[in-house]
Amino acid sequence: MALDKPYTNVPGTIVFDAEQARLGYHLNMFCMSLLKAANRERFRASERAYLDEWPMSEEQKQAVIARDYNRMIALGGNIYFLAKIFATDGRSFQYAAALMTGMSQEAYARMMLDGGRPIEGNRYCDDADGGGAGRGEADG
Amino acid sequence: MAVARAAVRRMARITAGVTTSHVPAIGAALDAGKSRDAYWNPVFSGYDFSKRWIEAARPDVVILIYNDHATAFSLDVIPTFAIGCAENFNPADEGWGPRPVPVVRGHPQFASHIAQAVIQQDFDLTIVNRMDVDHGLTVPLSLLFGQPAAWPCRVVPLAVNVVQYPPPSGQRCYALGKAIRRAVESFDADLKVQIWGTGGMSHQLQGPRAGLINRDFDLAFMDRLVEDPELQARMPHIDYIREAGSEGIELVMWLVMRGALDAKVKEIHRFYHVPASNTAVGHLILENPRTAAPDRSQS
């Protein structure tokens, strides 16, 4: 019997469930290794060589090199693990969040000051008015 | 139970509950001396009352319900509930270097007692005797205590998995709070204990829906948590994810705090502000009317 996953019908959102965690195990554990300063140095020195030490898929490695966080999440990454990558880059959660929404950091910060992304139109993938966070926007 | 002797028996008691968001950027702003700049002052001002309140309340121990953010726990071991029984917990390096805050002093004897008494109430806690603590635990301490040379009380960290879905249900968290309360009250020492629930409020850090804030949900959640926690405890996970964002599900941790308090509580303080970086900040102080007042606790 399949598990009930009502959260697949939330726009612009991938819940890090058992299936995603299996898919992303090595990707996330690579991220975890960046908590050690020495590993951050080695990663910075040669990203490709460092990534090749991990049994990740080529697709996952390419997504890391491209800093394509939406792709990394689709491939099993979890944001709290992926945070180790943007921390290594000296970037903040707000920088990464803006990147994932396709907005400039300035526009994103302004949206937050204005009360954040509204819930109206952002509850279901098939919300009639679409909102600002349809899955399609990630690719745009 | 020696009810007749209860009046003279030394007993630990839960006097109050605190809830607060634990946004990492709040810690970074404080550490960088920016807490009174135009962006951050509205956030920190919401805690001015709380700092005075806790100075007077003087808890001996805080049981601090929080979540680890892929810091102490990777994907190798994922405990649903983990209680820290160590002497000390060091602030973790989360990739930006450790926060310049004091080492967190635990209470091994009390924590181990809680662990045993809670496991005997059918909650299978994981016992942790060594771990670093991340912003989930240290930011709430900073918000309530500011920047002291040493934290003024002991802390029992209780980590809840909210990273890999599913977190424990709201019902389970609420029931854990009740079990913790019974465990506290069976500890034979005159300890004033607070329980804090952290995380939330509405926020989403991932994907194209990042930046989601739902003020109406947050305010209604606080109302229900105070007035009708039994109802709030029944809310399914999907409602948190859909309405409060994928990371808003951290709010189930507030229910652990609420379960450990009386059915009727006194709301001492409430604060709500948008934004702190990506997140809505919510903060409550609730007192147990019978045990909070210092004069009555002496009887």
How far apart CA B198 and CA B251 sit, in angstroms, is 7
Model pLDDT, residue B38: 97
Provide mean pLDDT across the span B231-247: 98
User: B166 contacts in A (CB within 8 Å)?
Assistant: 17
Model pLDDT, residue A139: 33
Of B113, B135, B273, B283, the active-site residue reads: B135
Q: What are the b/e assignments for B82-121, b being 16+ CB within 10 Å?
A: bbbbbeebebbbbbbeebebbebbbbbebbbbbbebbbee
Q: Which of A37, A78, A135 sits opposite B70 (nearest CB)?
A: A78
| Contact status of B70 with chain A (Cβ, < 8 Å) | yes
User: B215 contacts in A (CB within 8 Å)?
Assistant: 115
Model pLDDT, residue B8: 57
How far apart CA B200 and CA B240 sit, in angstroms, is 10
How far apart are the CA of B239 and the nearest CA of chain A, in angstroms? Answer: 9
**B261 backbone dihedrals φ, ψ, rounded to 5°:** -100, 175
User: For the whole model, what pTM was predicted?
Assistant: 0.94
CATH number of the domain bearing residue B215? 3.40.830.10
Provide mean pLDDT across the span B52-56: 98
Model pLDDT, residue B291: 79
Domain housing B246: 3-297
State the count of interchain CB pairs (< 8 A) between A and B.
Answer: 158
The domains located in chain A, with CATH, are 14-91 (1.10.700.10), 92-131 (no CATH)
Please judge whether B208 and A137 are an interchain contact, meaning their C-beta atoms are less than 8 angstroms apart: yes
pLDDT beyond 80 at B5: no
Please judge whether B277 and A113 are an interchain contact, meaning their C-beta atoms are less than 8 angstroms apart: no
B113 is an active site residue:
no
Model pLDDT for residues A53-89, shown as the tens digit of each residue: 999 999 999 999 999 999 999 999 999 999 999 999 9
Mean pLDDT of chain B: 94
CA-nearest residue to B274 within chain A is A115
Give the model's confidence band at B10: pLDDT under 50 very low, under 70 low, under 90 confident, else very high: confident
Model pLDDT, residue B294: 53
Model pLDDT for residues A95-126, shown as the tens digit of each residue: 999 999 999 999 999 999 999 999 999 999 98
Among the ranges given (B1-5, B24-28, B83-87), the one the predictor scored with the smallest mean pLDDT = B1-5
Taking phi first (over 0 means left), then psi (-120 to 50 degrees means alpha), and beta for anything else, what does residue B238 get?
alpha
How large is the ipTM?
0.92
How far apart are the CA of A43 and the nearest CA of chain B, in angstroms? Answer: 13
pLDDT beyond 60 at B299: no
Mean pLDDT of chain A: 91
Number of domains in chain B: 1
Model pLDDT for residues B257-298, shown as the tens digit of each residue: 999 999 999 999 999 999 999 999 999 999 998 876 554 444
Radius of gyration of chain A (CA): 16
User: A133 contacts in B (CB within 8 Å)?
Assistant: 207-209, 212
Provide mean pLDDT across the span A43-51: 98
How far apart CA B246 and CA B259 sit, in angstroms, is 24
